[in-house]
Amino acid sequence: MAHSSFRVEPGKKVDLSKWPTDDTGPFKDKSDAKDAVKKHVKRLIELQELLYASASHSVLIVLQAMDTGGKDGAIEHVFSGVNPQGCNVTSFKVPSHDELAHDYLWRYHLACPKRGMMEIFNRSHYESVLVERVHEIVSKDVWSRRFEQINAFERMLISENTLILKFFLHVSKEEQKRRLEARLDDKTKHWKFSPADLAERKYWDEYTKAFEDALRYCSTDEAPWHVVPSDHKWFRNWALSDTIVRAMEKLDMKYPQPPEGLDKIKIR
């Protein structure tokens, strides 16, 4: 599967049942993809250094998924070598009292990356058309108009030289079951298990519909969504790193010009 196959065409209706969750692309297995993933991770380190040095662009990476979809694991592996000075991760939880007193995009805008920085959203502004819709926290009139508001928000960021890369980590319901069971079987993973995960699992169909609409209405030419097959964690890592590296290589980034006379300096 080519990286372009992950891309959701703008305005096209999305049926997630037709998008594979267990694809392995050009690879036979994890070992076959190992070198390709390492190459991408190494290249991402170089590109992030260039991003930081040039300070001409910023990069916003949005990760969304069903519970156990692999957002934490993707962050741990794909960004394992980047310089912490130039990369930040924000995980959005239930809004605080102060956040609820502002518009729904306020807390997300505060966390957007400044030039030279890479920011990873673990969950994002899309929660406002996902969990708030599924749990009827807001009415349909409210969440349905948010699609265009989100698109406008992202267009503004892009016009200010922010590259936005959005990924839906696509896992099957069967794989989610296996991952939840693994957390129960391994005592070192008990801290990751929450009864709320089981409660949310009951809304699988409702979340699927909400994701399909978000992907359909908020995949744009400037900030397309990518649906990444994620039943195999190693393939998820390759697909993410491949897409990010390709996109960052297209940015017009250059190292700043050094001061004049460096060639004449002698350090004694």
Instruction: Report pTM.
Output: 0.94
pLDDT of residue 85: 93
Query: What is the number of structural domains in the chain?
Result: 1
Quote the domain boundaries for residue 237: 14-251
With a cut of 70, list the residues of the chain below it in pLDDT: 1-4
Q: Is the residue at 230 inside a domain?
A: yes
Above pLDDT 70, what percent of the chain?
99
Residue 233 lies in a domain: yes
Q: Is residue 258 part of a domain?
A: no
Query: Is 215 part of a structural domain of the chain?
Result: yes
Residue 265 lies in a domain: no
Domain membership flag for residue 176: yes
Residue 267 lies in a domain: no
- What pLDDT shows up at residue 70? 95
130 in a domain, yes or no? yes
- CATH, residue 23: 3.40.50.300
Write the secondary structure of the chain as one string of H (helix), E (strand) and C (coil).
Answer: CCHHHHECCCCCCCCHHHCCCCCCCCCCCHHHHHHHHHHHHHHHHHHHHHHHHHCCCEEEEEEEECCCCCHHHHHHHHCCCCCHHHEEEEECCCCCHHHHCCCCCHHHHHCCCCCCCEEEEECCHHHHHCHHHHCCCCCHHHHHHHHHHHHHHHHHHHHCCEEEEEEEEECCHHHHHHHHHHHHHCHHHHHHCCHHHHHHHCCHHHHHHHHHHHHHHHCCCCCCEEEEECCCHHHHHHHHHHHHHHHHHCCCCCCCCCCCCHHHCCCC
